[in-house]
Amino acid sequence: MTPPLAVDIDGTLTDEDRAVHPPVLPVLREWDAPVVLATGKALPYPVALCEFAGIERTVVAENGGVAFVHATDDLLFLGDREAAQRVVDEYVETGHELGWGSHDLINRWRETEVAVSREAPLEPLQRIAADHGLEVVDTGFAYHVKSPDVSKGRALEAVAERLGRDPGEFVAVGDSINDVSTFEVAGRSFAVANADEPAREAAETVLDTAYGEGFLEAVERVR
């Protein structure tokens, strides 16, 4: 039987230049079991990707802070932005910038965490986050200020329950530290070849191929 998928977006369904790897689209569309896109990005991004890929909008966004389940029409909030906002306000007050320019489209639709550019200094952000009981996760694409209780894996458990599935039925594919929690709850886990060290260590299998081609390799292995 075809297993349900929990798939990261950036670095896993994309190419090196961050554009979606076109051959993944028909694979997602024709997959004969639930597909959950699980990303660090704000909710509109995976929702739009589902729309344009022609699949059900079942997604985990903001590293598990928000989730939507198409089949049950459930919108879940598993994190809360206020604490993360206090951290970045203090970061800005002490002279730093989030680094997204004058129109911050990265955080505009973010509801439970705040993202900071990787060009901004990390150490003061980590220090302020720790003072507020939060953490900073470096996905390789951005620094995410979030609650340590929020994760893609925990959100996947909530989504799986609503889909009437066990999280252990899922096959997870990802590329970075924010996918480790997904790997821990899924039954099988694959890190694409471009994955960072924490993802490689947590995954059951490290794939031979990178980026979107790595995702295609993973689905070939479980089909």
Ligand X SMILES: O=C(O)COP(=O)(O)O
Residue 62 lies near Mg ion (rule: CB under 5 A): no
Residue 10 lies near ligand X (rule: CB under 6 A): yes
State the burial class of residue 135 (Cβ atoms within 10 Å of its Cβ: 0-12, 13-18, 19+): middle
Residue 196 lies near Mg ion (rule: CB under 5 A): no
Q: What is the DSSP letter of 3?
A: P
> Binding residue for ligand X (CB under 6 A) from 8, 196, 213, 217?
8
> Binding residue for ligand X (CB under 6 A) from 141, 170, 190, 211?
141
Residue 59 site contact among ligand X, Mg ion, none (CB < 5 to 8 Å, cut-off depends on kind): none
Q: Which of 8, 17, 32, 104 is catalytic?
A: 8
Whether 8 sits among the annotated catalytic residues: the reply is: yes
Confirm or deny that 80 is annotated as ligand binding.
Answer: no
Centre a 10 Å sphere on the Cβ of residue 177 and count the other Cβ atoms it contains.
Answer: 20
Q: Is the dihedral angle over the CA atoms 142, 159, 21, 209 positive or is it negative?
A: positive
3-class DSSP string for 56-69:
CCCEEEHHHCEEEE
Residues 163-182 contacting ligand X, CB under 6 A: 176, 178
Residue 113 lies near ligand X (rule: CB under 6 A): no
Identify the CA nearest to 171 among candidates 153, 186, 151: 186
Output the six-digit token pair for 211: 């980026």
> Binding residue for ligand X (CB under 6 A) from 5, 6, 7, 9?
9
Closer to ligand X by CB, 1 or 155: give it.
155
Minimum distance from residue 14 beta carbon to Mg ion (Å): 8
Q: Is the dihedral angle over the CA atoms 90, 100, 137, 59 positive or is it negative?
A: positive
Q: What residue has token string 């919108």? A: 75
> Binding residue for Mg ion (CB under 5 A) from 3, 4, 7, 11?
11
User: Rounded to the nearest 10 degrees, what angle do helices 122-131 and 81-93 cross at?
Assistant: 130
Residue 34 lies near ligand X (rule: CB under 6 A): no
Output the six-digit token pair for 66: 């928000």
Annotated binding site for Mg(2+): 8, 10, 175, 179
The footprint of ligand X (CB under 6 A) covers 8-11, 39-41, 139, 141-142, 176, 178
Annotated binding site: 8, 10, 152, 175, 179
